[in-house]
Amino acid sequence: MGAIATITGQASAADGAVQYIVRANGNGTATNLTDAGFTVRHELAEGSVLVVTGPEGAAADLAAVRGITDATPDVSVDFDRPEVDADADELPSDGAALSDLQWDKQVTDVFPAHEYATGEGTSVAIVDTGIDLDHPDLGNVNEELGEAFVLDDDVPEIGPDDSGFHGTHVAGTVGATGEEGVVGTAPDTELVPIRVFPADGGATFGDILAGIDYAAEIGADAANFSLGIPGVQQPDSALNQLKAEIQTVFQSVTRQGTAITGSAGNDEGNLQGSGFTLPNSVPAVITVSATSPADTLSFYSNFGTSDIDVGAPGGWYETIPRTLGEEGEPDDIPFPLNGVLSTWPTDLESSVGLPGYDFISGTSMAAPQVAGLVALVRELDPDANANQVERAIKQGAELANGRSDPELGAGRINALRTVEAIADDD
């Protein structure tokens, strides 16, 4: 039950207006667009990228407005999850301490790393479905800073609360406090919920970009997005037109100091060469592949030296039969415990019968492992810029020779190695 977003169609509002992502090259462009009859929803990257709504088929009219260099219809995305067909095993009784089931934190040496840093004084923005504001292990959520950026919001009354489940699980992986059940990579960080999904699914790239731009505006140390388009796109793809706008916004965000962590995708796709996914296939993103409890690439994870920066635990093994225990090693973790355990909305049923917690898998679960590690690095070195933070995480990774491993990039992250190296330099 891991997740990555899949394209669901053109981004449009209930009134029929279509959303466009526009590149601009001059002051006053937003006014020019308004004068031409368009509505400007977001001004991003210091006004060089605009999110605009207007009539269907108006891309050419937009491009004709003074100050506009390009206009592309936005697309809507929703979650797509790798699946296996099996019954869930029985889990420990309700209310038990669950850290012993967090193999992901054990593999990456997170718990001993907390002797050096816990993320105190940092913040991580979760650009997702929102976060359960009532979860006992998520008492470090800053609801006041939380925002919702949703083109056609069907649950505006919930604000940054979770409209599904995905954001709550991601948030726990980053920074669950361990108050009752699980511990995140950075349990003392501040979590900022930025909801870009309505309850019925369908986040637009315009809103995703606005959410990440907002994360930089509030000074978040990291912004995690565990979403993206499915498959491997080629240079002639219509989606290639969005790549420049995404890169412009993301580079603006990282220049402001916010590191961006993104999931590589769940399509077993080779991103080598000219192939790409969005929004993670731009240089400003720390793109994360998913690994198993055995430190193998999970069977669903995308790979490719042109895109993958590091690997991190995402759950399940390198094959479905090993995931289900039909083959493998005697000490393999059984299904579903070989998924990633994290927080779950308290008002939703847990698929494993453990209220408030669930095991799911995907590159969506791998990216927040790295976002939490960004918080640990920033606690120890608050003046490090986004590139320096990424470099420290890569230098602390293991299991790869160099930084061009097609599956793991610089390697599978190791929190203890990373923070020890920073502490030794002080």
Q: What angle do CA 188, 189, 190 make, to 5 degrees?
A: 120
pLDDT tens string 330-378 = 999 999 999 999 999 999 999 998 999 999 999 999 999 999 999 999 9
Report the distance separating Cα 274 and Cα 296, nearest Å: 25
- What pLDDT, on a 0 to 100 scale, did the predictor assign at position 90? 39
Residue 12 · residue 18 · CB < 8 Å: yes
**351: helix, coil or strand?**
coil
- For the segment 51-73, the average pLDDT, to the nearest whole number, is 94
- For the segment 57-61, the average pLDDT, to the nearest whole number, is 93
**Between 388 and 230, residue with greater pLDDT:** 388
- What pLDDT, on a 0 to 100 scale, did the predictor assign at position 26? 73
CB under 8 Å to 394, separation ≥6 — which residues?
Answer: 309, 310, 403, 409, 410, 411
The catalytic residues are 128, 166, 364
Please tell me the CATH code under which domain 78-425 is placed.
3.40.50.200
pLDDT tens string 84-142 = 876 544 333 233 369 999 999 999 999 999 999 999 999 999 999 999 999 999 999 99
The pairing of beta strand 147-148 with beta strand 259-263: unpaired
pLDDT tens string 384-413 = 999 999 999 999 999 998 778 999 999 999
Report the distance separating Cα 182 and Cα 176, nearest Å: 6
Cα 357 versus chain centre, distance? 19
- Listed by start position, the domains of the chain span 4-77, 78-425
What type of residue is 95? G
- What pLDDT, on a 0 to 100 scale, did the predictor assign at position 89? 47
Report the distance separating Cα 258 and Cα 277, nearest Å: 21
Residue 375 φ then ψ, to 5° = -60, -40
Sign of the C-alpha dihedral, residues 49, 53, 59, 64?
A: negative
pLDDT tens string 267-307 = 999 888 777 888 888 899 999 999 999 999 999 999 998 89
Q: Say if residue 189's pLDDT is above 50.
A: yes
Strand order in the sheet with 203-204: 4-10, 75-80, 203-204
Report the distance separating Cα 163 and Cα 161, nearest Å: 6
- What pLDDT, on a 0 to 100 scale, did the predictor assign at position 13? 63
- What pLDDT, on a 0 to 100 scale, did the predictor assign at position 272? 83
Q: Say if residue 209's pLDDT is above 70.
A: yes
Q: Say if residue 190's pLDDT is above 90.
A: yes
Q: Say if residue 150's pLDDT is above 50.
A: yes
What is the pTM assigned to this prediction?
Answer: 0.92
| CATH for 4-77, options being 3.30.70.80, 3.30.1330.30, 2.40.160.20, 3.40.50.300 | 3.30.70.80
Q: Say if residue 47's pLDDT is above 80.
A: yes
- What pLDDT, on a 0 to 100 scale, did the predictor assign at position 202? 86
